Chains A and B, each alone.
Chain A
Amino acid sequence: MFLAFQGAIAQGILWGVMVLGVYITFRLLDIADLTVDGSFALGGCTCAVLIVETGIDPWLGLLAGLLVGVLAGAVTGLLHTVFDIPAILAGILTQIGLWSINLRIMGKANVPLLRNHTIFSDFAGVTGLGVNVATIIIGLLLTVALIGALYWFFGTEIGSALRATGNNEDMVRALGVDTRITKLLALMVSNGLVGLSGALVCQSQKYADVGMGTGAIIVGLAAIVIGEVLGRVMPGHLRSFSSRLIAAVVGSIMYFLIRAIVLQMGLDPNDMKLLSAIIVALALAVPVVMERAAARRSFSKGGEA
């Protein structure tokens, strides 16, 4: 039981890297980027094949996962910005295409890493820690570094223009920034993180599977929403940018903990995706319903006055 929770936390942190990527598109750019399901698996599959076939250093495997993720983001970005294909559709196109590409890369539906080194097994070997603890430590260090890097990037001139693009495209263009470029860049950064996360998860679970990214976008959205709900009940409401990034990762950890708990309680693992979908749908629907209710209440008040 304890081990299961340790594993859930480890998974939550590694998937948290993907959630950071989804946060960029969903919250900063205001796009639901469905590339994610494909680019997550792409990162994992590429990393696994490179490690198994060429025996490269597992850290380079992570880098490869990141780079192919960036490429996948670029494809969606170009479809969206150059050819004006709606973002959701552009993402779906890339995602579907990546399914075949991932199968091509692996040559089969999954690649096990049974006897290969991973960054986690290496670290566990050196330190003598359990694999879960080693995963949590490396994952946390990596996540802190990534959040730091994102905080820096989104504070730069380019990063600020990127954040503004999700807010008000008209304004950004009027201030001399080509929003096609900022969107393309955001999709590349986002999917780079997603690909990296796929590579991390592949090394942690010691296999890559063509279906490993299926539903990843829903996990990402659910984690963001959980993180935001947690942020809202915290003092200060966690409004700063860095705390919102941290909340996204914490949301991911919470998601996998909740998942571990309901699985312990006897939920069929296959029902987990339904549960995730319901969580996200509720989280998106509740604020709308509440706003409408508030509008109705204020109307009757006005009438009486």
Chain B
Amino acid sequence: MLTLSNISKTFNKGTVTEKVALNGLNLHLAPGDFVTVIGGNGAGKSTMLNSIAGVFPVDAGRITLDGVDITRLSEPKRAQYLGRVFQDPMRGTAADMQIDENMALAARRGQRRTLRWGITAAERELFADKLKMLGLGLETRLSDKVGLLSGGQRQALTLLMASLKKPDLLLLDEHTAALDPKTAAKVLELTTEIVEEDHLTTLMVTHNMHDAIRLGNRLIMMCDGRVIYDVSGEEKAHLHRADLMAKFEEAGEDMSSDRMLLG
């Protein structure tokens, strides 16, 4: 499915702010893997996701998705394979456009845009059905501007949009970190629902160890731009926070200065 081989990325090379974000990173995902990603600040979690999404070119290595080498594809070109939800709820939707318009844009992810009308009546019905699944009452507000929604509603909508056209890989970059605990729980619940329903291969970065253990079939821990711990199946099911803490300390992470949530 997804293979990252020897990915390196250094920001601000040759300056005083030089920062090695990815350092020979290797990772392979099997189809249907739901992988949670944890690690301290600067471990390279977001850089890994952004490298996959093509936000910036990597310095070295190879990224293949379903056998296609996407290492040098531009961000818009890769979009056909990827569903993405960002940490900031504002980044996933267009505030001045209607809910249905936003969804229509997402329904055409990776497709050539034409001069056909941007949204069809059939789509509107489909969108209403999909929105009903969220249980947020948005199905009756199709023509409301997205800017009128709360952060949680927007994030739920972004999640729905990311899966509207089934992605080969779903990238979730701390997508609940900016939400209050109750909304975050709701969005996470929705995440598992969508991932399970469509059997989506998923990479989910989180700062919440409890969620990282609870969700998905596989967990990876990153440190200094590479994967230092990779656990799945039975072993992951029996994992405890204490185990992860031990791993962190082994890796020399300073837990006191970290914003890792221990809950």
Contacts and interface: CB of A to CB of B under 8 A. Distances in A.
Contact of B108 (A159, A166, A175, A179): A175
Contact of A176 (B77, B91, B95, B104): B77
Interface size bracket, B side: 20 to 34
B105 A161 contact: yes
Contacts of B92: 168, 171, 174
B105 A164 contact: yes
Contact of A158 (B53, B79, B80, B113): B113
B138 interface: no
Residue among A155, A161, A171, A178 with the highest chain B CB neighbour number at 10 A:
A171
Given A174-B75, A178-B76, A164 B114 contact: no
A153 B118 CA distance: 9
A178 B115 contact: no
A163 interface: yes
A257 to B, nearest CB: 30
Contact of A170 (B91, B116, B117): B91
A116 interface: no
Contacts of B106: 175
A158 B74 CA distance: 19
A159 B102 CA distance: 13
B23 interface: no
A156 B116 contact: yes
A171 B108 contact: no
A52 interface: no
A232 interface: no
A176 B115 contact: no
B118 A173 contact: no
A153 to B, nearest CB: 8
Interface in A170-209: 170-179
B224 interface: no
Contacts of B97: 160, 163-164, 167
B94 interface: yes
Contact of A175 (B95, B109, B115, B118): B109
B91 A175 contact: no
A156 B79 CA distance: 20
A271 interface: no
Contact of A173 (B76, B95, B117): B76
B9 interface: no
Contacts of B101: 160, 164
A112 B249 CA distance: 82
Contact of B93 (A163, A171, A178): A171
Interface in B59-108: 74-77, 79-80, 82, 84, 86, 90-97, 101-102, 104-106, 108
B113 A177 contact: yes
A186 to B, nearest CB: 13
B110 interface: yes
Interface string A259-274: 0000000000000000
Given A156-B118, A170-B91, A176 B96 contact: no
Interface in B156-183: none
A175 B79 CA distance: 6
B75 A155 contact: no
Contact of B114 (A158, A163, A171, A179): A158
Given A161-B105, A175-B108, A176-B80, A156 B95 contact: no
A31 to B, nearest CB: 15
Nearest to B77: A176
A160 B105 contact: yes
B111 interface: yes
B91 A168 contact: yes
B94 A157 contact: no
A161 B113 CA distance: 8
Given A174-B53, A176-B77, A168 B115 contact: no
Contacts of B91: 168, 170-171
Contact of A157 (B74, B75, B108): B108
B263 to A, nearest CB: 29
Contacts of B119: 160
Contacts of B53: 174
Nearest to B83: A174
Contacts of A155: 117-118
Contacts of A163: 94, 96-97
A153 B119 CA distance: 13
Given A164-B94, A175-B108, A156 B76 contact: no
Given A155-B118, A173-B79, A178-B76, 5 more contacts: A161-B113, A172-B94, A174-B75, A175-B106, A176-B109
What are the 10 tightest A-B residue pairs by CB atom distance, in nearest-first order?
A176-B79, A167-B94, A160-B118, A176-B110, A157-B113, A178-B76, A164-B94, A158-B113, A175-B109, A168-B94
Interface of A: 153, 155-161, 163-164, 166-168, 170-179
Interface of B: 53, 74-77, 79-80, 82, 84, 86, 90-97, 101-102, 104-106, 108-111, 113-119
